[in-house]
């Protein structure tokens, strides 16, 4: 399709406008993070990278990020394994009650955490799991598996059936077809799911807040909220803390961006 010069210029203008809208808050928070934290620092200059070290120490972000990393590893690992197995069953097999079970999985996407968080807290407290890493991680695993099953089912249903049939005729078992053929082929879909689940887990605020009432397992967003309470006037340190909390998600995206974009463009469908 031939695109005229007017359309090309219009496309660039729209893309530049939306890019500026997206990048402006990022530029603002980075500028504030390097700004002087107080009047004494302002007399020494306008560029203060030491704000990150001060925010890291005073905000105890090392402890909060260690908890966030531990929770993210548990959630992403369990989600990838369980979603791959469930998606493989729903996408390639026929069994009784398949549609009913799949719609039950979809309820995990449709029901918000706010609707179940209070009874879930009392359930976990009755079995002694509150104030543990499992109380913070397992509800997020349940939420992520609902999306992951839907995502991986879409991928498995998009695989050419003749490829699976050829593998069966060669004597491959369902387990070998999954782990030796379909999973390597679905690397973009798996990578996209891993990045999305990691991002949602890292940014989750409500579940860690409720499931750890003593604050023993505070995650990075909770630590940032507490830091905000201490430095409502110190925007430089608060901005530095916000950059520190957001940095792992940005770094992971840049490392896996090629597979992530490919998975999003393919819609988890691989022919």
For residue 217, give both structure tokens: 């397992």
CATH number for the domain whose boundaries are 67-230+245-268: 1.10.3720.10
**Which among 154, 190, 180 is positioned nearest to 263, based on CA atoms?**
190
For residue 116, give both structure tokens: 């179940």
Burial grade of 153 (CB within 10 A; 0-12, 13-18, 19 or more): buried
Sign of CA dihedral 255, 50, 68, 110: negative
Q: pTM for the whole thing?
A: 0.88
Q: Which residue ranges of the chain lie beneath pLDDT 70?
A: 1, 231-233, 266-271
Q: How far apart are CA 224 and CA 218, in angstroms?
A: 10
For residue 132, give both structure tokens: 């543990």
> Are residues 150 and 79 in contact, defined by beta-carbon separation less than 8 angstroms?
no
Q: How far apart are CA 236 and CA 31, in angstroms?
A: 9
Residue with tokens 């499931």: 211
pLDDT of residue 268: 47
Question: What residue spans define the domains of the chain?
Answer: 67-230+245-268
Say which residues have a Cβ less than 8 Å from residue 150's Cβ, sequence separation at least 6. Answer: 87, 105, 106, 109
> Are residues 145 and 79 in contact, defined by beta-carbon separation less than 8 angstroms?
yes
For residue 184, give both structure tokens: 């390597």
pLDDT in tens, 231-255: 656 788 999 999 999 999 999 988 8
DSSP conformation class of 63: H
For residue 236, give both structure tokens: 């430089």
pLDDT of residue 269: 46
For the chain, the farthest-separated pair of C-alpha atoms sits apart, in whole angstroms, at 77
DSSP conformation class of 213: T
Q: How far apart are CA 205 and CA 165, in angstroms?
A: 45
Q: How far apart are CA 55 and CA 48, in angstroms?
A: 12
For residue 3, give both structure tokens: 């695109």
pLDDT of residue 205: 93
**Which among 215, 217, 81, 189 is positioned nearest to 144, based on CA atoms?**
81
DSSP conformation class of 36: -
Q: Provide, rounded to the nearest whole percent, the portion of the chain with pLDDT above 70.
A: 96
**Which among 31, 47, 55, 8 is positioned nearest to 234, based on CA atoms?**
55
**Which among 30, 21, 74 is positioned nearest to 48, based on CA atoms?**
30
For residue 188, give both structure tokens: 């973009």
**Which among 264, 149, 237, 248 is positioned nearest to 203, based on CA atoms?**
248
């Amino acid at each position: 399709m031939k695109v005229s010069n007017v359309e090309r210029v219009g496309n660039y203008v729209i893309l530049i406008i939306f890019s500026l809208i997206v990048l402006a808050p990022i530029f603002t928070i980075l500028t504030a993070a390097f700004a002087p934290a107080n009047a004494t620092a302002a007399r020494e200059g306008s560029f203060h990278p030491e704000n990150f070290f001060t925010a890291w120490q005073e905000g105890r972000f090392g402890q909060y990020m260690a908890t966030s990393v531990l929770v993210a590893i548990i959630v992403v690992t369990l989600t990838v394994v369980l979603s791959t197995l469930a998606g493989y069953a729903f996408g390639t097999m026929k069994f009784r009650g398949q549609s009913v079970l799949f719609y039950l999985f979809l309820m995990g996407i449709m029901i918000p955490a706010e609707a179940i968080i209070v009874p879930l807290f009392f359930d976990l407290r009755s079995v002694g799991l509150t104030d543990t890493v499992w109380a913070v991680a397992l509800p997020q695993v349940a939420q992520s598996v609902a999306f992951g099953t839907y995502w991986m089912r879409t991928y498995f249903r998009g695989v050419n059936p003749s490829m699976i049939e050829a593998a069966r005729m060669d004597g491959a078992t369902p387990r070998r077809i999954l782990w030796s053929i379909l999973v390597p082929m679905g690397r973009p879909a798996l990578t996209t799911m891993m990045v999305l689940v990691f991002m949602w887990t890292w940014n989750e605020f409500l579940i860690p807040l409720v499931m750890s009432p003593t604050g023993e397992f505070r995650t990075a967003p909770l630590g940032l909220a507490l830091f905000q309470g201490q430095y409502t006037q110190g925007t430089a340190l608060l901005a530095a803390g916000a950059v520190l909390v957001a940095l792992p998600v940005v770094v992971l995206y840049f490392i896996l961006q090629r597979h992530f974009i490919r998975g999003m463009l393919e819609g988890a469908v691989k022919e």
